[in-house]
Amino acid sequence: MIDSGSQSSLVSEGFVLKHQLTCAPLRPAIPIQGLDGEPLSKGSISHVVVLNVKLGDHSEFKTFGIVKMPWDLLLGIDWLQKHNPVINWKSGSIHFLAATQVAWVLWLMFLASWILILSATLVTWVLITQLKFLAHQFLHPLTLRCSQLVISSG
């Protein structure tokens, strides 16, 4: 389970007991509470376990707090912020962008922003050129007519 509202990643007591995992005491214990401010589970995380988490090609050792909960494993905001995975909520899939993919995405964003800037500059230049041309076409005949006027004093 993924829960961006959980400050840390957790594993259930039942999962730890079922798989006879070695846990370590956590001192001081970390108090835990729900969104309503009420204590959850036993009210604190007093033990942790290190697990090898594998998701597709991704593998890592991660420390989990042990609590009573209905899910075997919960990846919290600590894990989400570290990895920033791409999550497809519709299909339920998680993907990790490789550094090269991130670099390409950033490069494409940079390129797109420059294309927008250059397009705006080109449009502005065309408009100014057209305005100058129209102004010249409109004002030039007036200038000729005014220069042909002869002012005489009576």
CATH of the domain at 17: 2.40.70.10
142: in domain: yes
154: in domain: no
- Check residue 72 and give its pLDDT: 93
When pLDDT is averaged across residues 1-14 and rounded to a whole number, the result is: 86
Same domain, 107 and 88: no
Q: Say which residue the tokens 């707090």 belong to.
A: 65
114: in domain: yes
pLDDT in tens, 121-140: 877 877 777 777 776 666 65
Same domain, 38 and 87: yes
Give the residue numbers spanning the domain of 108.
Answer: 97-148
Give the sign of the dihedral formed by CA 110, CA 115, CA 116, CA 120: positive
DSSP SS3 for 64: strand
Q: How far apart are CA 101 and CA 103, in angstroms?
A: 5
When pLDDT is averaged across residues 1-13 and rounded to a whole number, the result is: 86
Same domain, 73 and 16: yes
pTM assigned to the model: 0.58
Same domain, 45 and 117: no
